[in-house]
């Protein structure tokens, strides 16, 4: 089976890069001036600088733990206990997810959210060196930089809290510890549980190969596992007694591949066969496959999905087998927010891209040489801010659910060498050393400064909310998850002694 589920957000950032860099005279360009450096922002930035050694240590701890989706016990606890130390009230195990938490500081309006992710990817174990070298063969690794993601969001909130406490600024900060982004699960369950209700707006980001703020959307998605049960028999001796579950999977897939022609070009269907039987001379009485159905918006996914279900039913009839569908998760398309993202972009211009040293650039170039891509090092420029050219054909993310519940901003900060693939050992290597630490500090500063703008200028949040209401076009959030679907809980493993 394929090694991992594509993390949608990094794909979006890569797609945005292609669009922007191809057009110097971009008619879609949005002109934004750098934000002002206010005294309050100076304090927040100074806090991040002073806390940097501690934040880098926290980053490295989560990088080393490298826990995959729903198993992020140590990573979630590291962030939750740090928030507690810093004066946040933390509730753990929210929405039935043992590795999700919410940390709250302050009271009253506005209520500003920060999203923190921390899940790793399977089989990407890697030391912080310039060629492929797993710490432990086959173990997980932070190939999407979610170690930096979680710590930077947490740090931004704590930096703002520090300023709010000192100056008696009213408002509430909520840090959401969001597990299982890579499997597009965590925030879908958190959204269904109402955790994101009542937010004035939400700030989020993603580690990237570039420094940018994107207004791209993402694909809506349904994902499910399909199990067929049949009857076994000797494949040569008495196959007429057999009813092959594998045949049912294959006929489903053939049906889906014919269906593609009659779906809109925006639809994307992919699958892996996880269990297709054990031996050719035994008719498989059990088979299992995993499917993704994506499209440009929720409504389209639901229409596509209905047709997929008919094909599955048809395959069962043809093979005289029975089937069960295990719905895993579903998400919406992301609602971008220009009003909020403009403020984040202005603060990115103010803070500037991470200043990487010559050693760090050499480290990145060594990796590029090893992979065979152009040795351009790490990006130190800020990409232009523009309207997206398109909003389909990319990955999916559970951040989309949050964007339907409150205006949500975006940000990408560079930590992977330009031109290297996403979900790759190169990202793991860079995320566990000083390159990752610099990305972390920049992201935390940009988000903290943006949050201070949101707190001090209520008219920004008002504009964000007006835009958000317009983008929803009268549609209210409805969870794509069936009401009786419980989160996939993975019990905590014993600590290695």
Residue with Cβ nearer Zn ion (171 or 395): 395
Q: How far is the CB of 144 from Zn ion (least distance, A)?
A: 3
Q: How far is the CB of 292 from Zn ion (least distance, A)?
A: 16
Residue with Cβ nearer Zn ion (6 or 312): 6
Residue with Cβ nearer Zn ion (103 or 422): 422
Residue with Cβ nearer Zn ion (11 or 351): 11
Give the binding range for Zn ion (CB under 5 A) out of 33-41, 139-147, 359-367, 399-407: 139-147
Our finding on whether 62 is near Zn ion (CB under 5 A) is no
Give the binding range for Zn ion (CB under 5 A) out of 40-48, 69-77, 140-148, 329-337: 140-148
Q: How far is the CB of 117 from Zn ion (least distance, A)?
A: 7
**Residues whose CB falls within 8 Å of the CB of residue 262, separated by 6 or more in sequence, listed in order:** none
B/e letters for 280-317, b = 16+ CB within 10 Å, e = fewer, are: eeebbbbbbbbbbbbbbbbebbeebbeebeebbeebbe
The pair of structure tokens assigned to 34 is 């750098």
d(CA 297, CA 300): 5
At 142, give phi and psi (nearest 5°): -85, 70
Q: How far is the CB of 381 from Zn ion (least distance, A)?
A: 22
Which residue bears the tokens 């403020």? 343
Q: Are 102 and 174 in contact (CB under 8 A)?
A: yes
The pair of structure tokens assigned to 21 is 């860099």
Residue with Cβ nearer Zn ion (7 or 331): 7
Binding letters toward Zn ion, positions 27-46, x by CB under 5 A: --------------------
Residue with Cβ nearer Zn ion (7 or 62): 7
Residue with Cβ nearer Zn ion (83 or 144): 144
Q: How far is the CB of 406 from Zn ion (least distance, A)?
A: 20
Total binding residues toward Zn ion, as defined by CB under 5 A: 2
Give the binding range for Zn ion (CB under 5 A) out of 55-63, 137-145, 305-313, 371-379: 137-145
At 116, give phi and psi (nearest 5°): -120, 125
Q: Are 393 and 219 in contact (CB under 8 A)?
A: yes
d(CA 437, CA 212): 18
**Residues whose CB falls within 8 Å of the CB of residue 173, separated by 6 or more in sequence, listed in order:** 88, 104, 105, 106, 112, 114, 157, 160, 161, 164, 451
Q: Are 213 and 385 in contact (CB under 8 A)?
A: yes
Residue 187 host element (H or E): helix 186-192
Q: How far is the CB of 83 from Zn ion (least distance, A)?
A: 21
Residue with Cβ nearer Zn ion (144 or 269): 144
Q: How far is the CB of 397 from Zn ion (least distance, A)?
A: 8
| Cα-based distances in Å from 231 to 290, 321, 451 | 21, 8, 60
Give the binding range for Zn ion (CB under 5 A) out of 108-116, 138-146, 340-348, 427-435: 138-146
Q: How far is the CB of 181 from Zn ion (least distance, A)?
A: 6
Residue with Cβ nearer Zn ion (3 or 475): 3
Residue with Cβ nearer Zn ion (11 or 311): 11
Q: How far is the CB of 477 from Zn ion (least distance, A)?
A: 22
Neighbours of 467 (CB within 10 A): 17
Q: Are 411 and 343 in contact (CB under 8 A)?
A: no
Residue with Cβ nearer Zn ion (163 or 427): 427
Q: What's the alpha-carbon Rg for the chain, to the nearest Å?
A: 23
Give the binding range for Zn ion (CB under 5 A) out of 6-14, 101-109, 259-267, 341-349: 6-14
- Judged by CB under 5 A, which of 7, 160, 180, 188 binds Zn ion? 7
Binding letters toward Zn ion, positions 85-104, x by CB under 5 A: --------------------
d(CA 330, CA 298): 9
- Secondary structure class of 220 (helix, strand, coil): strand
Give the binding range for Zn ion (CB under 5 A) out of 144-152, 162-170, 372-380, 448-456: 144-152
Our finding on whether 144 is near Zn ion (CB under 5 A) is yes
Give the binding range for Zn ion (CB under 5 A) out of 141-149, 164-172, 247-255, 375-383: 141-149
**Residues whose CB falls within 8 Å of the CB of residue 45, separated by 6 or more in sequence, listed in order:** 159, 351, 445, 448, 449
Residue with Cβ nearer Zn ion (44 or 426): 426
The pair of structure tokens assigned to 285 is 């009485």
| Cα-based distances in Å from 398 to 197, 217, 307, 335 | 15, 12, 24, 12
Our finding on whether 116 is near Zn ion (CB under 5 A) is no
Applying CB under 5 A, the residues found at the interface with Zn ion are 7, 144
């Amino acid at each position: 089976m394929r090694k991992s589920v594509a993390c949608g957000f990094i794909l979006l950032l890569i797609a945005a890069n292609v669009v922007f860099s191809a057009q110097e005279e971009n008619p879609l360009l949005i002109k934004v001036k750098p934000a002002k450096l206010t005294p309050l922002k100076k304090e927040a930035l100074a806090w991040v600088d002073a806390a940097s050694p501690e934040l880098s240590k926290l980053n490295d701890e989560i990088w080393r733990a490298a826990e995959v989706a729903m198993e992020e016990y140590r990573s979630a606890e590291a962030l939750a206990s740090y928030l507690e130390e810093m004066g946040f009230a933390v509730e753990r195990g929210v929405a039935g997810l043992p590795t999700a938490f919410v940390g709250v500081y302050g009271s009253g309006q506005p209520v500003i959210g920060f999203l923190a992710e921390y899940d790793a990817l399977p089989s990407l174990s890697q030391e912080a060196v310039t060629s492929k070298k797993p710490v432990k063969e086959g173990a997980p690794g932070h190939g999407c930089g979610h170690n930096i993601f979680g710590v930077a969001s947490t740090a931004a909130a704590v930096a703002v809290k520090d300023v709010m406490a000192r100056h008696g600024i009213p408002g509430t900060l909520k840090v959401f510890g969001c597990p299982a982004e890579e499997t597009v699960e965590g925030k879908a369950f958190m959204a269904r549980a109402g955790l994101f209700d009542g937010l004035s707006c939400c700030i989020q980001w993603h580690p990237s190969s570039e420094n940018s703020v994107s207004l791209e959307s993402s694909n809506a998605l349904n994902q499910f596992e399909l199990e067929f049960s049949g009857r076994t028999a000797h494949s040569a001796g008495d196959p007429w007694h057999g009813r092959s579950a594998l045949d049912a999977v294959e006929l489903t897939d053939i049906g889906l591949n014919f269906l593609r022609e009659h779906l809109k070009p925006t639809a994307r269907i992919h699958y892996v066969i996880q269990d297709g039987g054990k031996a050719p001379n035994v008719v498989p009485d059990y088979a299992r496959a995993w499917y993704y159905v994506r499209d440009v918006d929720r409504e389209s996914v639901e229409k596509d999905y209905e047709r997929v279900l008919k094909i599955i039913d048809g395959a069962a009839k043809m093979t005289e087998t029975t089937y069960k569908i295990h719905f895993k998760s579903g998400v919406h398309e992301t609602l971008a927010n220009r009003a909020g993202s403009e403020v984040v972009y202005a603060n990115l211009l103010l803070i500037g891209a991470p200043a990487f040293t010559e050693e760090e650039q050499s480290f990145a170039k060594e990796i590029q040489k090893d992979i065979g891509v152009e040795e351009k090092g790490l990006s130190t420029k800020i990409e232009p801010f523009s309207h997206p050219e398109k909003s389909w054909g990319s990955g999916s993310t559970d951040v989309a659910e949050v964007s339907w519940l409150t205006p949500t901003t975006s940000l990408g900060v560079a930590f992977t060498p330009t031109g290297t693939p996403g979900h790759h050992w190169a990202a793991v290597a860079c995320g566990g050393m000083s390159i990752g630490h610099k990305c972390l500090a920049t992201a935390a500063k940009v988000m903290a400064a943006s949050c201070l703008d949101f707190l001090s200028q209520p008219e920004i949040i008002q504009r964000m909310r007006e835009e958000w209401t317009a983008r929803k076009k009268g549609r209210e959030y409805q969870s794509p998850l069936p009401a009786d679907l419980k989160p996939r809980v993975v019990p905590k493993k014993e600590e290695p002694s």
